[in-house]
Amino acid sequence: MTTQTPTVTCCHCGKPVTYHYDEVNHRQHLWLTIFTLGLWAPMWLFDIVSKIKICDVCGKPTKE
């Protein structure tokens, strides 16, 4: 029995790579929400629920 590291195929590297999730920049979202008088809030929520996989090799999102 071996423990497999979860991998995803990166569209930039073109091979299976390990990944991590992008951290949500809450401070920036808060600013944008205040600046747009709350119009940005749905984008903030969208960013929280749609976790983007970041390639550990090239540091870019694994999908475009």
12 binds Zn ion (CB under 5 A): yes
C-alpha–C-alpha distance, residues 10 and 64, integer Å: 10
Whether the CB-CB separation of 57 and 10 falls below 8 Å is answered with yes
* Interface stretch with Zn ion, choices 2-10, 18-26, 35-43, 46-54 (CB under 5 A): 2-10
55 binds Zn ion (CB under 5 A): yes
Asked if residue 56 lies in contact with residue 18, where contact means CB atoms within 8 angstroms, the answer is yes
10 touching Zn ion, by CB under 5 A: yes
Interacting residue ranges for Zn ion, rule: CB under 5 A: 10, 12-13, 55, 57-58
